[in-house]
Amino acid sequence: MVTGGAVKGAVGAPVEQVARPRPAAGPERAAWDAAAAVTDPEVPVLSIEDLGVLRGVRFVDGAPVVDITPTYSGCPAVDAIRDDVVVALAEHGFPGARVNVVLSPAWTTDWMSDAGRRKLAEFGIAPPARRAGGVVSLDLGIRCPRCGSLHTRELTRFGSTSCKALWVCRRCGEPFDHFKEH
Amino acid sequence: MPNPPQPSSAVLTPEAIAASVTGQDATVRAADDVARYALGLGDDALVLAQRLGSWIASAPELEEDVALGNIALDTLGHARSLLTYAGSAWDQTEDDLAYFRDEADFRCRQIFERPNGDFACTIVRQLVVSAYFTALYRGLAESTDATLAAIAAKAVKEVAYHLDHASLWTVRLALGTEESRRRTLTGLEAVWPFVDELFAADPAADAVPDAAVAPAGLREPFDALVLPVLARAELEVPAAPALRGGGRLGVHSEALGPLLAEMQVLARRHPGAVW
């Protein structure tokens, strides 16, 4: 199930290039686009491409092989995503797909696309903060996705799924999920 | 290196998932000696995850049901990766290793199989094991074995949260009420005799010095993580002598058997069951 995988994306490579290694052309690109539409079963507004979970598509002996990476080691969504990718590819004319789970490079919320961050906020989940430069995660406060206030506090670091923490807004009083920086 | 036929993941059984490790596309099949090392680490994580899982619906507050459940899930994820990798050397799945080995075949260190005790006792053990995992996975991320390094690089980010959780609770309980402090002290006395075993020799690690992290070398980073928390909580390291250990050799306390019985009964009574 799990392989080390090739370490792609050297230090200094643009985040976007590392996060979404979409093939330039050919059937690989078509297969990538088919797999890219699969959504995370626990956060259905995000595609696996938005999340940076889709890591690569290639063909081995004519059959597509898709690499995905888990957000967290124990994330149960991986099995559902694996299933959905096989189905999505078959629907787009690529039967017999195989899905490979790779662990390296380790997934980070920095790979989440800007579009994904917007969709998360609209869905009511505060998106993860960006760690510019990747050195320090500054605790600048998390914006309430309902009223927009920065006057919020963490209620518990472990929320409804591995990737989320539970926060509460001090202004509107509503609790909300926050996609943890990882 | 044998190269079995390429499995199809169109049939998404656990067997097919595990088999994909040995597929022609996969880059890895663990060497036997590396697998023996991974097995010990995987058993530590598996047994701890099973222990922590039993807190769900029993923790002092809902948030802790969720927190301990999430921590158990991360830990189970580490176990699945490590046991799947170990099993790849022997054509065994993660489920074969988890459900169809007996007590003496398990290689977990004994601290992981200890009964949970009360919440304070569990928190003290979480402080110890999260600090240990943090030191271990930091070191293992530099392993010459690419798969172990990848598993560790992912795990180290997760156990940082676990350590933070346990550290905050240790301080809160130790400096809370008289009762919470009494329970924390009792937990510390119960857990600490099992600490030394974490750093005792592991023949499986010695056999693969480049791929493994030498357990003895983890003591210093462990102390650097744990001692400041104990100091902040105004707790002293107990003077009780260390117990003999031997988990890596298959020597276990009486606590492991009932844990395994509960974990394995369904898979053994209904082999191949899916849901």
Residues A92, A37, single domain; the answer is yes
What is the extent of the structural domain holding A61? 2-110
Interface test with A, best of B15, B70, B147 (most A CBs within 10 A): B70
Residue of A nearest to B87 (CA): A1
Q: Name the DSSP class of B253.
A: -
Q: What are phi and psi of A63, to 5 degrees?
A: -105, 140
From the CA of A126, how many Å to the nearest CA of chain B?
19
Q: Do B75 and A65 touch (CB under 8 A)?
A: no
Only one residue has tokens 């009762």, namely B179
Residues B194, B231: Cα–Cα separation, whole Å: 20
Interface test with A, best of B3, B15, B20, B74 (most A CBs within 10 A): B20
In this predicted structure, what is the pLDDT of residue A5? 46
pLDDT-based confidence at residue B6 (cuts at 50, 70, 90): very low
End of a domain among A78, A110, A142?
A110
Residues A145, A62, single domain; the answer is no
Q: Which helix (H) or strand (E) holds A19?
A: helix A15-19
In this predicted structure, what is the pLDDT of residue A16? 84
- pTM: predicted TM-score of the whole model, two decimal places: 0.87
Residues B216, B234: Cα–Cα separation, whole Å: 27
Residues A59, A148, single domain; the answer is no
Residues A92, A51, single domain; the answer is yes
Phi-psi region of B245 (alpha: psi -120 to 50; beta: other; left: phi over 0): left
Contact B27, A65 (CB under 8 A): no
Phi-psi region of A144 (alpha: psi -120 to 50; beta: other; left: phi over 0): beta
Q: Do B77 and A1 touch (CB under 8 A)?
A: no
Q: What are phi and psi of B130, to 5 degrees?
A: -70, -35
In this predicted structure, what is the pLDDT of residue B10? 35
Provide the H-helix boundaries in A41-102. 48-51, 77-91
End of a domain among A81, A110, A139?
A110
Only one residue has tokens 């807004």, namely A169
Residue B44 is encoded by which pair of tokens?
Answer: 């530590």
Mean pLDDT, residues B203-218 taken together: 97
Interface of A with B in 102-161 (CB under 8 A): 102-107, 155-160
In this predicted structure, what is the pLDDT of residue B211? 97
Q: Name the DSSP class of A169.
A: E
- The CATH code of the domain that includes A71 is 3.30.300.130
* Domain assignment of residue A116, yes or no: no
Residue of B nearest to A95 (CA): B10
Contact A71, A112 (CB under 8 A): no
* Domain assignment of residue A115, yes or no: no
CATH 3.40.50.10540 fits B29-235+248-269, yes or no: no
In chain B, domain spans: 29-235+248-269
3-class secondary structure, B196 = helix
pLDDT-based confidence at residue B5 (cuts at 50, 70, 90): very low
Residues B67, A166: Cα–Cα separation, whole Å: 11
Residue of A1, A5, A75 lying closest to B150 (CB–CB) = A5
pLDDT digits (tens, 9 = 90+) for B62-103: 999 999 999 999 999 999 999 999 999 999 999 999 999 999
Residues A43, A73, single domain; the answer is yes
Instruction: Output the CA torsion sign for B1, B6, B9, B11.
Output: negative
Count helices and strands in chain B by DSSP H and E runs = 11, 0
* Domain assignment of residue A83, yes or no: yes
End of a domain among A54, A79, A110?
A110
Tally of domains in chain A: 2
Phi-psi region of A47 (alpha: psi -120 to 50; beta: other; left: phi over 0): beta
Q: What are phi and psi of A81, to 5 degrees?
A: -65, -40
Low-confidence ranges of chain A (pLDDT < 70): 1-13, 132-140
Only one residue has tokens 């050195």, namely A135
Residues B260, B77: Cα–Cα separation, whole Å: 18
Residues A86, A35: Cα–Cα separation, whole Å: 8
Residues A19, A65, single domain; the answer is yes
Residues A94, A145, single domain; the answer is no
Q: Do A98 and B76 touch (CB under 8 A)?
A: no
- Rounded to 5°, angle at Cα A21 from A18 and A25: 155
Let me know how long chain B is: 275
In this predicted structure, what is the pLDDT of residue A17? 85
Residues of chain B with C-beta less than 8 angstroms from the C-beta of A2: 21, 80-81, 84-85, 147, 150-151
Residues A92, A132, single domain; the answer is no
